[in-house]
Chain A
Amino acid sequence: MEQATTLEHTEDVYEPSLTPDSLGKLGMWIFLIGDTMSFGALLAAYAAIRAGAGVIGWVPPSDILGINLTAFMTFLLICSSVTMVKSLESIQKGNVSRMCTFLALTILGGVIFLGLQVYEWTHLIKHGLTLTGLPEHGLKGGAIAGSTLFGPTFYAITGFHGLHVTGGVIYLIVILIHGLRGRYTAEFNHEVEIVGLYWHFVDLIWIMVFTFIYLL
């Protein structure tokens, strides 16, 4: 009898064991924490290189990068985050077709974002921002002089983020296909929640990249 009460007590004290739902979610969170460190290291390296440019100087990013387009790209990712939460909300209420529609809209947002990034990169490369060089003239018409490390750091960080968006779009397409085949219900939908975590993280990172690379 005494033993039974002690057992009951220990079950109250410790966390409940991981279920398949929460295990997947925990796995994604651990991945995202690791990914935060990757982006953190890249941004810290950027900050260090920029601060260390010293006598050579660092070109103000607004002289080379257009803010309007990227502000629109930020807006687009925020919109796709909203459609993502709406998709999860729909399936939690058991509405499969609404979930699929919102997932498709999220994918569309991601694809347009990638398209705009390709447009931006080709534009910048044509104007002379390469891994080894800077464009001769800035957006404001003045001559450009500064550290040539601007190019590689810019392409490394936005490229790494773009790769995450690409991965996210593929991941979302897989979940959409599962959804269209009727895999998810009001009771079984943690996979949609997990893809959502990843997608919001990509949005969160872009918020940081936009601020540190484009605005500062």
Chain B
Amino acid sequence: MAQDEHKEHPKYMYIFLWLFILTAIEVGVAIPEYSTVIKATLLIGLACGKAFLVAAYFMHLKLEKRTLAVIVITPFLICVFLVIMLMPDLTSDNRHEGIEKPAEVVDTTAH
């Protein structure tokens, strides 16, 4: 947590410029229609790049102790893990079979 005051502050305008350029690229990538997988990979990559710039330079993580950066990255990894663990269950076919059956029962009672 010790502040390293002798370390020079990064040039914020360069970071701003990079964030602006990355946002413009993101919008450019998002508008045309093509493969969802490629689009998602590109967009998530760009977003992570922007998040890194904000955390490292604006939040001064680069100037802090390495331990803090490791602690901060952990919840992000846990979130990725959370998404991966939810996916197989929700995209399986069994789930929709289960949903359709009660709907048929409702139809017969209506007649």
Q: A46's closest neighbor in chain B, by CB?
A: B83
Q: B15 to chain A: which residues have CB within 8 Å?
A: 82
- Could you list some 23 contacts between A and B, CB below 8 A? A22-B3, A29-B68, A29-B72, A40-B78, A40-B79, A43-B83, A44-B83, A48-B87, A52-B95, A62-B31, A67-B30, A81-B58, A82-B13, A82-B15, A82-B58, A86-B12, A204-B54, A204-B55, A207-B50, A207-B51, A208-B51, A211-B46, A215-B29
Contact B12 A74 (CB under 8 A): no
**Contacts A44-B82, A52-B95, A216-B39; A78 near B23 (Cβ below 8 A):** yes
Q: Is A18 interfacial (CB 8 A cutoff)?
A: yes
Contact A37 B19 (CB under 8 A): no
Interface residues on A, range: 35 or more
For the residues of A in contact with B, the DSSP-based class is: helix
Contact A48 B90 (CB under 8 A): yes
**Contacts A29-B71, A37-B79, A52-B95; A67 near B54 (Cβ below 8 A):** no
Q: How far is the CA of A54 from the CA of B92 in the complex (A)?
A: 9
Contact B23 A75 (CB under 8 A): yes
What's the least CB distance linking B75 to chain A, in Å? 4
Stretch at the interface among A2-10, A123-131, A160-168, A195-203: A195-203
Q: B46's closest neighbor in chain A, by CB?
A: A211
- Please tell me which one of the listed residues A40, A67, A78, A204 contacts residue B75 in the complex, with CB atoms under 8 A apart: A40
A21-69 CB contacts (< 8 Å) to partner B:
21-22, 25-26, 29, 32-33, 36-37, 40-41, 43-44, 47-48, 51-52, 54-55, 62, 67
Q: B19 to chain A: which residues have CB within 8 Å?
A: 78
Q: Is A16 interfacial (CB 8 A cutoff)?
A: yes
Q: How far is the CA of A44 from the CA of B75 in the complex (A)?
A: 13
Contact B86 A22 (CB under 8 A): no
Q: Is A176 interfacial (CB 8 A cutoff)?
A: no
Q: A36's closest neighbor in chain B, by CB?
A: B75
Q: How far is the CA of A212 from the CA of B19 in the complex (A)?
A: 17
- Please tell me which one of the listed residues B29, B43, B58 contacts residue A200 in the complex, with CB atoms under 8 A apart: B58
Q: Is B109 interfacial (CB 8 A cutoff)?
A: no
- Please tell me which one of the listed residues B44, B82, B91, B96 contacts residue A40 in the complex, with CB atoms under 8 A apart: B82
Q: Which 5 A-B pairs have the closest CB atoms?
A: A40-B79, A52-B90, A22-B1, A211-B47, A215-B30
